[in-house]
């Protein structure tokens, strides 16, 4: 490792300590990677690409030292909860639609069967147009 890389890592570790102690100087103090990058005066991509181990360490320290869930994990959990509700609603709707299709199919069969029985026995009103009979 070159000196610049080591200096960057040292700044990131110092920024972690400040954020977790609630003594942010260069960021808004939130426990996020964006705040850590701002606090350490490094580009956030450095944390996401070059210093993945420090990013993971930061998240682990946030969990253990502050008893908080990292912001990104919290947002993901909220999204998963919303998606699970959506899936449950869609399953309910699909089941209702299947039942409706079954009822409509039965009603159609009753109407078709009833029309065949009435065709020869009862006169049809003048305003009723009969459906053509299927040959299948």
pLDDT digits (tens, 9 = 90+) for 43-93: 888 888 889 999 989 888 888 887 777 777 788 899 999 999 999 999 999
> Are both 87 and 109 inside the same structural domain?
yes
52: left (phi over 0), alpha (psi -120 to 50) or beta: alpha
Which long-range contacts does 13-22 make (Cβ < 8 Å, 24+ apart)? 13/54, 14/40, 15/39, 15/40, 16/54, 16/57, 16/58, 16/61, 20/61, 20/62, 20/65, 20/66
Residues 53 and 83 reside in one and the same domain: no
pTM of the model: 0.52
Query: Within this chain, do residues 88 and 52 fall inside the same structural domain, yes or no?
Result: no
Cβ 32 vs Cβ 40: under 8 Å:
no
Q: What percent of the chain is modeled with pLDDT above 70?
A: 88
Together in a domain, 25 and 81: no
**What is the average per-residue pLDDT within 119-132?**
65
Whether 87 and 64 share a structural domain = no
Q: Which of 68, 83, 109 is the last residue of a domain?
A: 68
Is the domain of 30 the same as that of 85? no
For residue 20, pLDDT beyond 90:
no
Note whether 41 and 64 are same-domain residues: yes
Residue 107 or residue 94, greater confidence:
94
Q: Specify whether 79 is located in the same domain as 50.
A: no
Are 79 and 57 contained in the same domain? no
Six-digit token string for 89: 């609603």
Give the number of other Cβ atoms within 10 Å of residue 37's Cβ. 22
Same domain, 58 and 78: no
The reported pLDDT for the residue numbered 122 is 57
Q: What sections of 22-70 are H helices per DSSP? A: 33-40, 44-45, 52-66
Q: How many domains does the chain have?
A: 2
User: Quick one: tokens of 93?
Assistant: 């709707």
- Residue 59, domain member (yes or no): yes
Helices assigned H by DSSP within 41-133: 44-45, 52-66, 71-118
Q: Domain range holding 22?
A: 3-68
Q: What confidence category does residue 136 fall into, taking pLDDT thresholds of 50, 70 and 90?
A: low
Q: Is there a single domain that holds both residue 8 and residue 62? A: yes
Q: How confident is the model at residue 1 (pLDDT cuts 50, 70, 90)?
A: low
């Amino acid at each position: 490792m070159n000196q610049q890389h080591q200096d960057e890592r040292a700044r990131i570790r110092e920024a972690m300590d400040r954020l977790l102690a609630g003594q942010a100087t260069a960021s808004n103090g939130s426990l996020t990677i964006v705040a850590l990058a701002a606090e350490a005066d490094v580009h956030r991509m450095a944390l996401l690409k070059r210093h993945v181990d420090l990013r993971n360490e930061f998240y682990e320290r946030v969990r253990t030292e502050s008893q908080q869930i990292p912001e990104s994990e919290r947002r993901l959990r909220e999204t998963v909860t919303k998606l699970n509700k959506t899936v449950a609603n869609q399953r309910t709707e699909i089941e209702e639609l299947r039942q409706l299709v079954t009822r409509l199919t039965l009603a159609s069969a009753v109407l078709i069967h009833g029309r065949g029985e009435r065709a020869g026995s009862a006169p049809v009103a003048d305003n009723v147009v009969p459906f053509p009979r299927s040959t299948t």
